[in-house]
Each structure stands twice: as structure tokens, then as C-alpha cells.
Structure 1
Amino acid sequence: MADPMNRRGFLTRASLLSSSLLLSGCDPLVQQSWFRNILYGAENVTRSVQGLFLSDARLAPEYSEADISPKFRANGTIRPDDDDYTALAADDFSNWKLEVGGLVERPASYSLADLRGMPSRTQITRHDCVEGWSCIGKWKGVPLAHVLDLVGLKPQARFIVFYCADTMEQTLDGEAKYYESVAIADARHPQTILAYEMNDQVLPIPHGAPLRLRLERQLGYKMAKYIMKIEAVESLKEINGGNGGYWEDNGYEWYAGI
């Protein structure tokens, strides 16, 4: 049987190749419907290939303490330009709460202390960025599946959407903030956690404090930082651009599997 790491490498390179087109002066192409169809077709191939190799429960590789990168580059925003977030950060997020709602039986909100009091998982994993770099870090947080079990998903829930504090651009309708989404199967994967620690320290602001998603079998832009709210939904079509995430609304793949 082929080495699973080689399979992962193949999938990683394939995803990086398709996404890198968007980082190399091809942005005008993204506006063309025929080019979007090519991208979405490639996404379906990525999902199909990964489905052949990886079960829903298969784990991404985990590493030892000795493998942790001496410097872990921060992806995306490094400090949200948002007054409410700045006020929360100034108070060490003591007044921050994670809202969990949508298609759930028991909507709730949780403080950092609440989340820290829940069952936790610690994992040392590799972060693969769409820009082509990788780092290994240690993460601790509450499994997302545990939070979903607490609130109770309704049968029609198919996706989990993450709403974040970082503003990406100013639009005619106001501020466009970062958001992401995952399918329920990926939300319930054992390595999908809401991380509040990195490398045995409180999660730093450049890496998404107070809470970020770790979705270890997908590319870095899927791992939403500065999470403020989680919502269970049946469809992504009516949310912002309708493609399931800020970068997806700008042409990236929704399923960024590696």
C-alpha cells in the first residue's frame, strides 16, 4: 500500500498548485465564469481523490515536541482593526463570549473559562498555507464536536459557519469581516478543535486570540481566527457571497483538503 504521507503530499501539492493561480496575477481570471467553473471542477476532483484515500475519521499526521517550528509564521490578519475586539483584548478577553446558535436545540454562549473547563485535546500538527509555507505547532483546545453536542444540532444542520472579528475590506454595505465554514463531518473530526493555547502558551493575538479553529486536514485559510460566533446552517447560499467563506467568495476552493 502507498505511504499515507506521500498521499498527503500529493494532495497538498495539488491544492497549493490550484490555489496559487490566484496569487500570481490571475485575479482578473477569477471574474470569468468559465475560469470559476474550472476551479470548482478542480475542487470536486480534490474532494473525490481525498475521499478515496482518507476516511472521515482518519487523522492528519501528528509530530513530537522536537518537531515544533522555532518560529511559527502567522497567517492572514495579525491584529483585527475592530474597536470591539480591541476593547476585549485590552481586558485579556475576560468579557469575551463565544455565541453558538443557528440550527441548534439549545443556543448558548461560552466564556474562555467555560471552554477551558470542557474536555480538551492537545495535538502537534503541521499548518500548510496556501502561499506555500508550512510550520509545525502545538495546539490545545476543546473539540468542536463536544460544543456541538452541548447545544444539540437539529437534523437539518449541514454546515458550521464561523464569524470572526477581523475586517477584510470596506464595502458599500459596510465592513466585510472574515468568515469560514465546514461540513458537519469535518466539524466532528477528532482533530477539529477550538484552540485557546499554542505551544503551551495562551493563544497570541497574531495567531487568532482568543479562539481559533484548527482543521488539520485542510489548508490554513480554512482555520478561522478571532472567532466570535458559530452558527449551524442548512445552506451556505444566503451567507455573504454564498460560497462558504471570505476567500471562497473571492475564488478560492471551499474544500481545501490536504
Structure 2
Amino acid sequence: MNTLTRRRFLRLAAGSALPGALAGCDRLADSEAFNGRLRSAQFLSRRAQALLTGRDAMAQEFGEDEIAAEFRSNGTAMPDSQLYRSLLAGQFRDWRLQLGGLVARPAQYSLAELQALPSRTQITRHDCVEGWSVIGKWTGVPLRHLLSRAGPLPAARYVVFHCADPMDGSDLQAPGSTYYESIDLVEAVHPQTILAYALNDEALPVKNGAPLRLRVERQLGYKQAKYLMRIDVVARLEPVRGGKGGYWEDLGYEWYAGI
């Protein structure tokens, strides 16, 4: 939640309050202590939702007749990266997904190796923070299968996804320039959390994240990291990049984006 959003939230909460009360809202929005309490509240809402719905509550799934004719792209439609374009030109034969961090058995996977693993297909709705939704059919490898193979160490708490999508005009050689996201281990081992390589029974299109993207169906669209390159299992999010757990989170979005 950025400063402008916080001010709007506080003004709405104030309703028909006196101008002095609205000025107080602005002072609260600029208060780092108050903002810290707001940021911590999202983790409370995460725990509250888990208590209400259960750790294994499933996102709604749909029928074949409800699949959209066109699954629009969210965010980048083609990464501005020489490395990515080189991998694309080779039909991702040289692409490898790196899996490491706090795991007993770090690994790397080619696209063909991932496609040979047990898969899951699900028809779900993508809800974008911008206000639009679309239903698509995803096929991929459950993330919990890869994590089980890797063996998270006792200190592991979060899974961080690093992408091939430069967000500031830099290429992959500039650390910290690319899109990234994170989820906790509870979300990571959920049955509907998959690394998708197919959309609507076809190879994943570039605009939708080829060769591999995250689908974490109980959260909003900006959590669905595209163009995956590396996955790290970590104990804490604070040392990673901006410390808030994701590219947009570092700019003010909430880390937990539950629907």
C-alpha cells in the first residue's frame, strides 16, 4: 500500500469527518511507525484467512466451456533482455530452471525435464489488481513436487522466484533489475500452486510467461511471476532485494495478495 493509497484509505475511513480529522489522516499516512503497523497487518490477514478457510482451501475451478478465447497478458508481453531473446530463439532448449537456497539438494531442470514430471491441470480465474479477470486452463508441475525433491532445510520459510523480465531498462546482468516475487512455504506446497508450462492445452505463449510461470491461484495476478529463471528457498525476505518480498511490494504493494 503506497502513501497515496494509504491516504485514500484513511480518508474513506474518516467518512464525513471534519477537515482537521482529514489532516490527521495525512499525518498518519506519512508516519513510518503507522505505515509499519499497516504492513504488519497483511501478515495478520494471512493468518486470519488460514484460520477461516484452512491451509488447504482450494481456489474455485471452472469448466472447459468457461475458458476465455484469449488470455490477455498481464505486465510485460516480451522481456527486453538479450539473454531471454536468445533462449527464445533456441526454443528454450538451453533454458534451465535453477532451484537452490536453503535446500539439501540444489538442482536445475530443463523444460523437457519439467514436462516429464507429474503434472496438474486446473482451470482457474486470474484476478488482476487492475480490476479485470480471465479464466484459463493451466498445466504444469506442482511446486511441492520440486520442493520435496530438493528437501527444504529446517530454517526454510519462503520461496523466492527470480524472472527474466527487466523492469528498469537493464538486462539480467544488473542484479536487482528484474521482476521477482515470493510466497511462504504453506502457499508453495498448496495443491494448486504449480509451475505452468502450458496454457489452454498449448505451449505457454511468450506474452503469458514462456517458458515457465508461477500459478498461485489463491492470490492476485501480480504474484503470478512470469519468465521464471531461478527459485531460491530462504529463511527471511528482508535480505532479498528491497526486503518486502517482491518487485511491486518493494514499491508499496501488499506482500500477501489473497483473493
Query: What's the TM-score once normalised by structure 1's chain length?
Result: 0.85
CA shift for structure 1 position 122? 0.1
Alignment of 1:79-158 (within 5 A): 79-158=78-157
1:198 and 2:199 equivalent? yes
2:252 is matched by which residue type in structure 1? G
Range moving further from structure 2, 175-184 or 91-100: 175-184
Pairwise CA distance, 1:49? 3.9
Q: CA deviation at 1:37?
A: 3.3
- 1:42-88 Cα offsets, whole Å, 9 max, x none, are 52453244224211111101000001112221111111001100100
Change in Cα spacing, 1:55 to 1:196, as seen in structure 2 (3 Å) is: same
**What is the letter of the counterpart of residue 91 of structure 1?**
G
The match for 2:215 is 214
Instruction: Confirm or deny: 8 A CA contact 1:39 1:253 kept in the other structure.
Output: no
Identical aligned pairs, as a percentage?
Answer: 53
For residues 1-258 of structure 1, the aligned pairs below 5 Å read 22=5, 33=32, 36-37=35-36, 39-170=38-169, 176-258=177-259
The residue that corresponds to 2:22 in the other structure is: none
Q: Which runs of 5+ in 2 are unaligned?
A: 10-25
Contact 2:6 2:29 in 1 (8 A): no
**1:110-157 Cα distance to aligned partner (Å, 9 max, x none):** 000000000000000000001111100000000000001111111111
Structure 2 CA distance, aligned partners of 1:175 and 1:214?
22
Contact 2:176 2:241 (C-alpha < 8 Å) held by counterparts:
no
Deviations 1:191-244 (A, max 9, x none): 000000000000000100000000000001001000000011111111110010
After the TM superposition, list the runs of 4 or more consecutive aligned residues in structure 1 that deviate by more than 3 angstroms: 21-26, 28-32, 34-39
Q: Contact 2:80–2:169 at 8 Å: present in 1 too?
A: no
Matched residue of 2:35: which SS?
Answer: helix
8 Å CA contact retained: 1:22, 1:251: no
Tell me which moved more, 38-47 or 184-193: 38-47
Q: 2:181 touches 2:246 (CA, 8 Å); kept in 1?
A: yes
Deviation at 1:22, TM superposition (A): 4.8
1:169 is paired with a residue of what secondary structure? coil
AA at the equivalent of 2:161: F
- Matches of 1:51 and 1:201, distance apart in 2: 34
Instruction: State the shift of 1:24 in Å.
Output: 11
Contact 2:46 2:256 in 1 (8 A): yes
With over 3 angstroms needed to count, the CA separation of the structure-2 counterparts of 1:96 and 1:62, relative to structure 1, is same
- The letter of the residue matching 1:193 is I
RMSD over aligned Cα, in angstroms? 2.6
Cα-to-partner distance string for 1:171-209 (whole Å, 9 max, x where unaligned):
8x7661100011001000000000000000000001000
Which has the greater radius of gyration?
A: 2
Assess if the C-alpha contact under 8 Å between 1:30 and 1:250 holds in 2: no
Q: Could you say which structure has the greater relative contact order, defined with CA pairs below 8 angstroms and 6 or more residues apart?
A: 1
Q: Aligned residues, how many? A: 239
Distance 1:204 1:98 in 2: 17
Name the SS of the counterpart of 1:221 in structure 2. Answer: helix
